Amino acid sequence: MTGPTANLLITGARLIDPATGTDAIGDLAISDGLVVADAPAGAERIDGRGLVVTPGFCDLHAHLRQPGRDGAETIESGCRAAARGGFTTICAMPNTDPAIDSAEAVSRAVAAGAGGACRVRIIGAASVRRAGREMADLAAMAAAGAVAVSDDGCAVSGAMARETFERVAAAGLLLIEHAEDPSLVAGGVMRAGPTAVRLGLPGWPPAAELTTVERDLALAGTTRARLHLTHLSCAASIEAVRGARARGVAVTCDVTPHHLSMADDWVAGSRRFAWDEERAPDPALAFDGRCRVNPPLASRADALALLAAVADGTIDSIATDHAPHPVERKLAPFASAAPGLIGLETALSLGLAAVEAGRLALPALVAAMSTRPAAIIGEARSLAVGATADIVAFDPAARWRVDATTLESASSNTPLLGMELPGVVRLTVGDGRITYRS
């Protein structure tokens, strides 16, 4: 990571550290990139009143598009977007072009990811070219530094699932699974339900996610492979996770900020959050390709159930699924628009909007964005004296307008453009270095 080494004293901030159970007003001193008890002479003083200081955020699911689609994002621009969003680690998915599906490709990606404004961890593909026909060499990719494997964009194919779980278990790896059965999606482009019927768009049933979740939980149970279910979008999937955990299955899971906050009425032109009062959608905003994402935006009831599962700790992590796409791939008719939206710079704000609405406690949001995802990939995070400074300081009350011209990401595909959101990151320190400040 690049940036000046931090020598700072942040005074009077709200320090929230899930690692030590801290939630108190206090000072944080950093000397030569380490958290210390007393600030060094000459340390820069930052008035932290009104700021919240927490461990740096860790995103288990981001798309950096390099190699192959660096018009949409580069490692460098993605890292800048991450640092602006308070992230100090992002895990890059392997659905690049070519896919990151070998030890050599992992090594190249690890080297390319060093030296940006954020720590980049690499996820290797589970199958060669992510095609679901031939196993990638998982053990070799792990040895080359992959923190997990995934065929994200697709689930591990049925034909390969058993062997994949066995090899993941043998290599002591983590499988990050995009749960989707394409035979049940069958051309669906938005969540099946009344809104899809009204708009005349083909529906994507929750069963397409749930059947893969159930399959994977069964395989994780028998193989003892570590399974992480990413971007869950259905209340029924959360129930399945709860049931499997009760049976002793080691499974973790995440949800995206957009699945928590935006329901399928956004496709009809609504711009209210899932917890807001019912408001008539704006027909002029209907069929906006920027609302197309896989899995699709959920029903309002499912979005609220996902949020409740973050609040009660069932969902381990909020992961962005930051999916940059160029404008022309989003300005298409809804059913032809590329699925995915950017999320690194808006994740904290969407979480804080849920906190403001009384749906989520701030410490639970912080844990789901920092210590809990970091622990899943074996990274420590703490504000305790002696720890490497890896922190974010943000103003939860400040507001900003999402504006394509000021985003650090090379893409601006989000339906949040033009909206005013709470939460401005003032300072990000990753691995002892200042990676962002505003």
What's the rounded Cα separation, in Å, for the pair 327 and 349? 23
133 is written with which tokens?
Answer: 């026909």
Nearer to ligand DOR, 203 or 339 (CB): 339
Nearer to ligand DOR, 17 or 152 (CB): 152
Q: Does 340 bind ligand DOR (CB under 6 A)?
A: yes
Q: Does 152 bind ligand DOR (CB under 6 A)?
A: yes
CB of 276 to ligand DOR, least distance (A): 24
Q: Which residue is nearest to ligand DOR (CB)?
A: 340
Site string for ligand DOR, 222-261 (x = CB under 6 A): ----------------------------------------
Contacts of 260 (CB under 8 A, 6+ apart): 274, 303, 306, 307, 310, 318, 350, 351, 354
Residue with tokens 């409740």: 308
CB of 32 to ligand DOR, least distance (A): 39
Q: What is the DSSP string of 20-86?
A: TTEEEEEEEEEETTEEESSPPTTPEEEE-TT-EEEEPEEEEEE---TTT-TTT--HHHHHHHHHHTT
Name residue 424's beta-bridge partners: 395
Nearer to ligand DOR, 85 or 396 (CB): 85
CB of 95 to ligand DOR, least distance (A): 5
Q: Does 373 bind ligand DOR (CB under 6 A)?
A: no
Binding residue (CB under 6 A) for ligand DOR from 58, 208, 323, 337 = 323
Residue 285 backbone phi and psi in degrees, to 5: -100, 0
Q: Does 412 bind ligand DOR (CB under 6 A)?
A: no
Contacts of 192 (CB under 8 A, 6+ apart): 203, 204, 205, 206
Site string for ligand DOR, 41-70 (x = CB under 6 A): ----------------------x-------
Q: Does 317 bind ligand DOR (CB under 6 A)?
A: no
CB of 270 to ligand DOR, least distance (A): 19
Q: Does 330 bind ligand DOR (CB under 6 A)?
A: no
What's the rounded Cα separation, in Å, for the pair 201 and 292? 12
Nearer to ligand DOR, 293 or 298 (CB): 293
Binding residue (CB under 6 A) for ligand DOR from 339, 373, 396, 430 = 339
CB of 259 to ligand DOR, least distance (A): 11
Which residues ranging from 89 to 128 are in contact with ligand DOR (CB under 6 A)? 95
What's the rounded Cα separation, in Å, for the pair 44 and 427? 13
Residue 292's alpha-carbon distances to 102, 228, 237, 314, in angstroms, are 31, 24, 21, 26
CB of 17 to ligand DOR, least distance (A): 32
Q: Are the C-beta atoms of 362 and 423 separated by less than 8 Å? A: no
- In the Cβ-directed half-sphere of 34, how many Cα atoms lie within 13 Å? 8
Nearer to ligand DOR, 152 or 431 (CB): 152
Q: Are the C-beta atoms of 261 and 274 separated by less than 8 Å? A: yes
Q: Does 153 bind ligand DOR (CB under 6 A)?
A: yes
Nearer to ligand DOR, 321 or 395 (CB): 321
What's the rounded Cα separation, in Å, for the pair 225 and 21? 30
CB of 366 to ligand DOR, least distance (A): 26
Binding residue (CB under 6 A) for ligand DOR from 69, 119, 178, 329 = 178
Site string for ligand DOR, 292-311 (x = CB under 6 A): -xx-----------------
* Total of chain residues touching ligand DOR, rule CB under 6 A: 11
Give the count of beta carbons closer than 10 Å to the beta carbon of residue 92.
Answer: 27
- Counting runs of H as helices and runs of E as strands, what totals does the chain give? 14, 18
Instruction: Respond yes or no: is residue 321 known to be catalytic.
Output: yes
Nearer to ligand DOR, 48 or 324 (CB): 324
Count of residues for the chain?
438
Q: Which member of 70, 321, 390, 431 is catalytic?
A: 321
Nearer to ligand DOR, 51 or 81 (CB): 81
CB of 19 to ligand DOR, least distance (A): 30
Strands 420-430 and 391-401 turn out to be: antiparallel
Alpha carbon 189 to its chain centroid, in Å, reads 22
Contacts of 267 (CB under 8 A, 6+ apart): 190, 195, 196, 199, 201, 286, 287, 288, 291, 292, 297, 334
By annotation, the residues acting in catalysis are 321
Binding positions for ligand DOR, rule: CB under 6 A? 63, 95, 152-153, 178, 293-294, 321, 323, 339-340
